[in-house]
Structure 1
Amino acid sequence: MSAPTTYLPGHFEERDLATLHAFIEANPLATWATTQDGELVVHHVPFRLDRTRGPFGTLVGHVARANPVWRAPQPSLLVFGGPQAYVSPGWYASKPLHGKVVPTWNYAVVHARGTPVVLEDAASVLRIVSALTDTHEARQAHPWQVGDAPPEFVDQMLRAIVGIEIPIEQLVGKWKVSQNRSADDRAGVAAGLRAQDPADPMAALVAPPSP
């Protein structure tokens, strides 16, 4: 991975490529920040990750043809957000010992940087749409396929969008999940989160490793 370009203390950095890839696949909706006519703009677009293309993978998606983001592709930052939670200082085991605790916010995110490549030909756009659909329909009991729609309708829809591929040039993971706290404090945070929601995904990230 390239050097991070965001504030990132070493103990919060996640470097494992497979972990970062799995995170993107589990949280595919990107907050896509780029520039347009000299102004910062943000879009929200789901991407499919192709792990096999490029050293860090390639993001594949599509946008409406009416969206000007594709007409002059610029270097972009895409943020994939995952679990996040407020952390009460009352959950720390160290609070009754010395009281030197404050609230914080835990979260896990992945930042991907790259420059979009635009694909307008019908075959490429159909390939992108079909792969994205198959990925997310796979969990359905009766998966819908692009071919289930009338061909003329599919052609109409394809003409209204353009394909986007973003070869990832930099991938940075930030896991702020109480790694700077003691094992007892982390256990207390995990317990506090689970008391609010037994299935809270942040609790699993915070919980200290089993001995």
Structure 2
Amino acid sequence: MLIHPWDAPHDESEWQQWLATHDFGQLAVNGLPGEPPHVQPLHFVYEATGGPHGRVITHLARPNPLWPALEANPVVLLSVVDDYVYVPGPWQAAPDTPPEHGTPTSFYAAVQLRCTAHLVDDASEKADLLNRQVGHFQPEGGSARAAVGEAPYGRMLSGIRGLRLEVIDVRAKFKYGGKRTTEVQDRIAAELTARGGPGDAAAREHLARRRGATA
């Protein structure tokens, strides 16, 4: 992923705070020799503790075909992309050029976590991982806790394997017109407001937030 200086996060807290509320991504695992990579969509929980860049916890079904590849090579990549929009060329045109000469682009936020995967097969540890995930996704409660040998989830623990991903490197990008002039950024923000499509409000907030942090 190419990251220009104007698209880089201002500090580590920027991508950590964003990732805390964007908890669905794709886990890429190197395939066995002669096989393509495995790419697994999944929900996950990012925890800022547990290492210099934090850790990720999740789980998958035991029959998932990626396990042999993961056991052979535990280095994986978790990719998360969201808050994306298409930006038409005229919105980006410099003030002294015709609108039709503007260059269209995409705005988006992306975080890629390079991790070392640790498989969790102990039933008690799996129950703990599940409870932490449910606590994140259902903070209001409403579900029973997982516990070994107890209904309703105790008997289901054997059907899953837990994953604890130790983050060893991070690449993050917030592509929201950072190299554009204030006049052009104002125009893009106004056009995003007027269009009001999916993702437009989030993209406008990113643009304003990053410009304010730079100022």
**Correspondence 1:90 to 2:90:** yes
Task: Flag structure 1 segments of 5+ consecutive residues without an equivalent.
Answer: 1-5
Which residue type is aligned with residue 212 of structure 2? P
Where 2:152 maps in the other structure, the secondary structure is helix
Which aligned pairs between 1:14-93 and structure 2 lie closer than 5 A?
14-38=9-33, 39-73=36-70, 74=73, 75-92=75-92
Where 2:145 maps in the other structure, the secondary structure is helix
Q: Answer whether contact 1:15 1:172 (CA < 8 A) is retained.
A: no
- Give CA deviations for 1:45-77 in whole Å, capped at 9, x if unaligned: 111112110000011110111113234423111
- Give CA deviations for 1:96-150 in whole Å, capped at 9, x if unaligned: x212421111111001001210000110100000010011111x4xx22333999
Q: Answer whether contact 1:92 1:185 (CA < 8 A) is retained.
A: yes
**Which is further off, 7-16 or 106-115?**
7-16
Counterpart-to-counterpart distance in 2, 1:168 and 1:201: 26
**Identical counterparts, % of pairs:** 21
Counterpart-to-counterpart distance in 2, 1:209 and 1:24: 20
Which residue type is aligned with residue 78 of structure 1? L
**Correspondence 1:104 to 2:105:** yes
Q: Answer whether contact 2:26 2:78 (CA < 8 A) is retained.
A: yes
Which residue type is aligned with residue 56 of structure 1? H
Q: Which residue of 1 aligns with 2:136?
A: 135
Task: Flag structure 2 segments of 5+ consecutive residues without an equivalent.
Answer: none
Which residue type is aligned with residue 94 of structure 2? S
User: TM (normalized to structure 1)?
Assistant: 0.87
Q: Answer whether contact 1:115 1:166 (CA < 8 A) is retained.
A: yes
2, 10, 21: which is aligned to 2:5?
Answer: 10
Which residue type is aligned with residue 177 of structure 1? Y
Deviation at 1:40, TM superposition (A): 1.3
User: TM (normalized to structure 2)?
Assistant: 0.85
Counterpart-to-counterpart distance in 2, 1:174 and 1:192: 22
Deviation at 1:15, TM superposition (A): 4.9
Where 2:3 maps in the other structure, the secondary structure is coil
Say if 1:15 and 1:67 are closer, same or farther in 2 by CA, change over 3 A: farther
Equivalent pairs counted in the alignment come to: 202
